[in-house]
A and B are shown apart, each in its own frame.
Chain A
Amino acid sequence: AVMRNRAEVDATLQTAKLNPAELLPAVHCLSFGPQAGGGECCLLQLEPGLCAELEAGRSLVIRGEKDEHAVLCSKDKTYDMKIADTSNMLLFVPGCKTPEELNAGLVSCNIIHSQIAGFSNNYWELRRCRPKLKKLRKLLMEDPYEGPDSRKDQTSTFSKYTTEDLLSLIQASEEEILHQLQVIDACKIEGFWRILDFDYEMKLLNHVTQLIDSESWPLSKVPLCACLEELGSLEPREMIEHILLSYGRKHVDDGEVFFEMREDKICRAIAQMLLQNAVKFNLSEFEEVWQQSVPEGMTTRLDQLQGLALVDKSSRPETIFLLKVEDLPEDNQERFNSLFSIREKWTEMDITPYIQDLCAEKQTVGTLLTKYARSSMLNGVKVYNSRRPYS
């Protein structure tokens, strides 16, 4: 392409009847670069904070398999991506100066040949979303760890996942993934992230609680070293430490490591162990057995079972059954459909533990209920049911 010269520019100005005296001396002659029509460039509109992250040299990653809607992940946040169309044409021009830059005298010549790198009539919009973490649990549950004695591991053909594997498969930021691994008490065994098989987990917990009992240690101060010594012959030391980390709070006292056992979490796990053996239980019978099953010094309370079990107050006698929030769908509408198929009418108190995790940034349970449910009064109590005419 022939580059325009100053004389041609001035001639054009004259034809256009523009007064050069009213213009800044420098002109940009815009032409289309060699790659301009190729469509290899696209525009991504940045949410607050992302621009600064990029300028700081940090990466953004687009994640998603072909059947998933792509998400964009920064180091610690996840965003849905959506195409936005404009009726205008957007040209991206490298090296194009603004009037401020020209006035600052940064440009010495008065012709700037700028090549348009690309153009588009759409761009990607971002919207912060909940990280899609249900898949993480699903992947790790393909092959739960049953202990070193399990022959399953040697013959297992199931995939095992490293951190890198998870980063490429899960639509969430790295920090969100690592945080969730901690929340679900996953542990790294031989470089792979594993979730413990529940029965094995209870077996480990039981070793520890029995030892606490026989040694008469205070529940708030369980010594790590002694546990490893006493139980090291029964189970791998890493597993003993892992169960203490999962069910206790670590603190160091005088150079020695102790754990403050978490009463709520232990009671909850034991409840799960009891409840998983039947469809439902007589509530008062369950409460009695449950209290007897937990370590000496711990007190069971029904509120420890939020998101794990549901009490049916309408049946005579009252019953309780296992309902784990992590088994329910991740999508908002599907979650509500599922809940309403289990029970037609819910009080806010009962449903909250089962929808709390759906709340996006600055969203409340109330907003969700307004959107996905219809309220009515039942015996003087406000209840929520499905918006659909048929359940």
Chain B
Amino acid sequence: SGDAGALAQWVLVELQGEVEPRQSGDLAGSLLGDLHYTREGVPVLIVGHHILYGKVVQLEKPFAVLVKQGGAPQPSPAGPHGHYTVTALIKTKLLFKTRPKPIITHVPKKV
């Protein structure tokens, strides 16, 4: 069901491939990277040793983010069952489709 108050607006970041933690262990808490925008509004994502260039896309069909009440949803082919709450709406995505440019470096600069 929807919230009576204003719904939060989130952003979708779309990346090619999979996301894997650099260290073993799960993802929670680990850094993904730095997201910059050029002055022309082009998103630039620095992930590890890669630079990704993307674009801002206004979604023709916005997304709703559903959170299942009471634990993770069982992936069932018949569909999601149970009670869900709409947590946020997503109307914008940052699409990173270009191949990442590797950052060539000799010595990581320490501060």
Contacts of A50 in B (CB 8 A): 64
Q: 1/0 per residue B46-66: CB within 8 Å of A?
A: 100001000010000111111
A380 contacts partner chain B, Cβ-Cβ < 8 Å:
no
Given contacts A24-B39, A31-B32, contact A124 B80 (CB under 8 A): yes
A278 shortest CB reach to chain B, Å: 43
With contacts A16-B51, A54-B89, A99-B37 known, is A40 near B78, CB below 8 A?
no
Chain B, range 57-77, C-beta contacts under 8 Å to A: 61-68, 71-73, 76
> Whole-angstrom distance between the alpha carbons of A96 and B4 in the complex?
23
By a CB distance below 8 angstroms, the chain B residues around A7 are 111
Interface SS majority for chain A? mixed
Most interface-central of B65, B87, B91, B105 (chain A CB within 10 A): B65
User: Which of A18, A44, A91, A100 is B63 in contact with, Cβ under 8 Å?
Assistant: A44
Q: Which of B19, B45, B46, B78 contacts A89 (CB 8 A)?
A: B19
Judge whether B84 and A62 touch: CB under 8 Å.
yes
A16 to chain B, nearest CB (A): 5
Contact with A43, one of B41, B63, B79 (Cβ below 8 angstroms):
B63
A12 within 8 Å of B (CB atoms): yes
Q: Which residues of B contact A88 (CB under 8 A)?
A: 14-17
Known: A23-B37, A54-B7, A57-B3. A31 touches B65 (CB 8 A): no
A42 touches B66 (CB 8 A): yes
Q: Tell me whether A193 is interfacial, beta carbon within 8 Å.
A: no
Contact B79 A70 (CB under 8 A): yes
> Could you say which of A37, A40, A58, A114 contacts B71, with CB atoms under 8 Å apart?
A40
Interface residues on chain B, number (Cβ under 8 Å):
70
The contact string, 1 if C-beta is below 8 Å from chain B, for chain A 44-74, is: 1111101101110111111010111111000
Interface members, chain A 330-366 (any B CB < 8 Å): none
**A119 CA to B15 CA in the complex, in Å?**
11
- Interface contacts (Cβ under 8 Å), in number, total 219
Known: A23-B44, A117-B10. A91 touches B15 (CB 8 A): yes
Q: Tell me if A81 counts as interface (CB < 8 A to partner B).
A: yes
A118 to B105, CA, bound (A): 31
Q: Does A251 lie at the interface of the complex (its beta carbon under 8 Å from any beta carbon of B)?
A: no
Assess A32 versus B28: contact at CB under 8 Å? Given A57-B2, A62-B79, A70-B78: yes
Do A54 and B12 touch (CB < 8 A)?
Answer: no
Q: Counting chain B CB atoms within 10 Å of each CB, which of A7, A31, A86, A100 scores highest? A: A31
Q: Let me know if B81 and A70 touch, CB within 8 A.
A: yes
Bound state CA distance, A223 and B107, in angstroms? 96
Residue of A nearest to B96 (CB): A88
For residue B40, give the distance in angstroms from its CB to the closest CB of chain A: 8
Residues of B with C-beta under 8 A to A329 = none
Task: Tell me if A55 and B89 are in contact (CB < 8 A).
Answer: yes
**Cβ < 8 Å to B, chain A residues 6-29:** 7-9, 11-18, 22-24, 27-29
- Tell yes or no: A372 within 8 A of B by CB: no
**Residue contact A69 to B79, C-beta cutoff 8 Å:** yes
Pairwise interchain contact A41-B65, C-beta atoms closer than 8 A: yes
| Contact pick for A18, options B29, B30, B36, CB 8 Å | B36
Of residues B5, B34, B89, which shows the largest number of chain A Cβ atoms within 10 Å of its Cβ?
Answer: B34
Nearest-Cβ distance from residue B6 to partner chain A, whole angstroms: 8
**Complex CA distance for A18 and B55, rounded to whole angstroms:** 17
Report A-chain residues with C-beta under 8 Å of the C-beta of B62: 45-46, 51
Give the residue name and chain of the A residue nearest to B63 (CB): A43
Which one of B36, B39, B67 lies within 8 Å of A41 (CB-CB)? B67
- Report A-chain residues with C-beta under 8 Å of the C-beta of B64: 43-44, 46, 50-51, 54, 60
> Roughly how many angstroms separate A67 CA and B76 CA in the complex, as a whole number?
11
Q: Is A317 an interface residue (CB 8 A)?
A: no
A-binding residues in B (CB < 8 A): 1-8, 10-19, 26-39, 41, 43-46, 51, 56, 61-68, 71-73, 76, 78-82, 84, 86-92, 94, 103, 105, 108-109, 111
What are 7 of the A-B contact pairs (CB < 8 Å)?
A32-B27, A57-B2, A59-B1, A89-B14, A89-B15, A92-B11, A98-B56
Given A51-B89, A53-B2, 20 new contacts (CB under 8 A):
A1-B30, A4-B34, A15-B105, A15-B109, A24-B39, A29-B34, A29-B35, A30-B32, A30-B34, A30-B45, A31-B31, A32-B28, A42-B68, A43-B63, A43-B65, A44-B65, A50-B64, A60-B1, A89-B18, A93-B10
